[in-house]
Amino acid sequence: MLDCKKPIVTINLTPLVDVSLVLVVIFMATAPMFMQSGIIVTSGEKKRTAEVKASSSPKKSILIKLKASQIWLNQHLVNEADLPNLLKRMLAESETRRVIINPGREVRHGRVIKFMDMAKQSGAANLVILGKSKEK
């Protein structure tokens, strides 16, 4: 006959192991999503900014100047719809495949990111964001 007055003091490990294995599988499935590469940002010095300006000939680099309502591609006014095709053509002829983006102060960061993405999808190897220094 069973003694019903004794408490059960053993721990059932089966549910704990089941939950742990499910968590391991979930982490294994989602780990590749967290390993995607992003954009590497390095802080440039004034000297390096001068080097980028000096080496920005049309054959070497492509300059995109963003204003509030205008887009300039190597000193030529262009439409936003035409820019991806022009970038692909120019990057195919470029030696360095470098795109320099020079946003004005009035340009929002979301628009700058949009043009960075457009340049990367067009085949740019290096992206440079050219800004004004705060020193006078």
Q: Which residue carries 């010095």 as its tokens?
A: 45
Number of residues assigned to the chain:
136
Cα 122 to Cα 38: distance, rounded to the nearest angstrom = 17
Please name the residues in contact with 63: beta carbons below 8 A apart, sequence gap of 6 or more: 56, 72, 73, 74, 75, 99, 100, 102
The pLDDT of 55-80, averaged and rounded, is 80
The pLDDT of 49-76, averaged and rounded, is 73
Q: What tokens does 133 get? A: 């220094």
Band (pLDDT 50/70/90 cuts) for residue 23 is very high
The interaxial angle of helices 109-122 and 83-93, nearest 10 deg, is: 50
Can you list the positions of beta strands (E) in the chain?
61-66, 71-73, 76-78, 98-103, 126-129
The pLDDT of 69-93, averaged and rounded, is 89
Cα 40 to Cα 44: distance, rounded to the nearest angstrom = 12
- pLDDT value at residue 58: 47
Q: Is 71 exposed, middle or buried (0-12, 13-18, 19+ CB in 10 A)?
A: middle
Band (pLDDT 50/70/90 cuts) for residue 5 is confident
- Taking only the tens place, the pLDDT of each residue in 89-129 is 988 888 888 888 889 888 888 888 898 999 898 888 888 88
- Domain range 46-129, CATH class: alpha beta
The more confident residue out of 4 and 74 is: 74
Q: Where are the domains of the chain?
A: 46-129
